[in-house]
Amino acid sequence: MTSNELGNASTNQSFNLWYHPLYTDGIHVEARFPRERYQILLNRLKDSEQFHMFAIREPRQISKDSLLLAHDSTYVDEFLEQKLSDKEMRRIGLTPWTPKMIDRTLCLTGGALEATIHAVEYGGITGNMAGGTHHAHRDFGSGYCIFNDLAISAMYAIEKLGVKRVAILDLDVHQGDGTATILSNE
């Protein structure tokens, strides 16, 4: 992915925020995950006086090559080919799964990566409405997290964008155990 693919650099004065309707729609209505939170947040932003400060961007799906920066190829293939076992899907949560789960996951992870690329190449503040999937490990998902967008984005920044060091500030009340294990030797 290049800066030309990400759009106009002049938007660095805005808070560039990646969002896709699949962040909500890709999760089954009966799943225990609070799926509506992304739409609620977007609606609140739209209703706020500060909405003009945001540039809402729609992410593209992340490539398999980018997923492999932080994840085992067997795990990636099993997810993409819908071959995870029932036990593996239960460990992740988000059940029952919808047909849109793969597209949702690839868009969500793509949004985090695009936000990272934009921040490195243009500066400014960026974000992804969903993400922070810090419970996904190298070879399995857990705790509503399929792929670890934080680890993928950090590895991409180092390996593809020439960033020397990356700090991940995770403010969740739960430890980002997947991020910690994936990046333990970095």
The whole-model pTM stands at 0.90
Give bridge partners of residue 126 from the DSSP assignment.
16
pLDDT tens, position by position, 58-100 = 999 999 999 999 999 999 999 999 999 999 999 999 888 888 9
Domain that holds residue 39: 3-182
Residue 39 CB contacts under 8 Å (≥ 6 apart), including other chains? 21, 24
Q: What CATH number does residue 152 fall under?
A: 3.40.800.20
pLDDT tens, position by position, 112-128 = 999 999 999 999 889 99
Query: For the chain, what is the domain count?
Result: 1
Residue with the two structure tokens 């006086």? 49
| Residue 92 vs residues 37, 39, 86, 101, 152: alpha-carbon distances, Å | 19, 22, 10, 12, 18
pLDDT tens, position by position, 132-162 = 999 999 999 999 899 999 999 999 999 999 9
pLDDT tens, position by position, 21-33 = 999 888 878 888 8
